[in-house]
């Protein structure tokens, strides 16, 4: 599955999904975010059992604020609409996958 660009318009639908949701909070100017992005893309392609979305913190400040995002990249895993896991900074793909379990 392709990565979903998360906006205020589609956020509620994504949040309420029955699937586990992985959100990548990033900004275009963020170097570490660019290191995480290809791994997020791979996970989206290799694991259709998850919904994977990217939230540009510059464009979607309300969503970033709602999740208390202070540093990027931040990965948030939602299960049943609730935060199940949260990770700040660059981590290996295996560790991202372990957040989803």
pLDDT in tens, 45-72: 999 999 999 999 999 999 999 999 999 9
Whether residue 96 is predicted with pLDDT greater than 90 in this model: the reply is yes
Q: Which residue has the tokens 């290809």?
A: 38
Contact 87, 75 (CB under 8 A): yes
Q: HSE (CB half, 13 Å, CA atoms) of 64?
A: 18
Catalytic option among 30, 84, 91, 97: 30
pLDDT in tens, 69-90: 999 999 999 999 999 999 999 9
70 labelled catalytic: no
User: Quick one: 4-100 is in which CATH superfamily?
Assistant: Glutaredoxin (3.40.30.10)
3-state SS of the chain is CCCEECCCCCHHHHHCCCCEEEEEEECCCCHHHHHHHHHHHHHHHHCCCEEEEEEECCCCHHHHHHCCCCCCCEEEEEECCEEEEEEECCCCHHHHHHHHC
Every domain of the chain and the residues it spans: 4-100
Catalytic option among 4, 6, 21, 33: 33
Strand partners, 86: 76
pLDDT for res 57: 98
Q: Confidence class of residue 25 from pLDDT cuts 50, 70 and 90?
A: very high
pLDDT for res 78: 97
Across the range 9-28, mean pLDDT stands at 95
33 labelled catalytic: yes
């Amino acid at each position: 599955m392709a990565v979903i660009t998360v906006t205020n318009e589609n956020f509620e639908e994504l949040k309420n999904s029955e699937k586990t949701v992985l959100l990548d909070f990033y900004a275009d100017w963020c170097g570490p975010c660019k290191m995480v992005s290809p791994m997020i893309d791979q996970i989206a392609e290799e694991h259709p059992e998850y919904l994977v979305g990217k939230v540009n913190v510059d464009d979607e400040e309300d969503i970033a604020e709602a999740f208390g995002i202070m540093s990027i990249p931040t990965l948030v895993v939602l299960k049943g609409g609730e935060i199940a896991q949260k990770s700040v900074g660059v981590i290996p793909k295996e560790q991202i996958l372990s957040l989803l379990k």
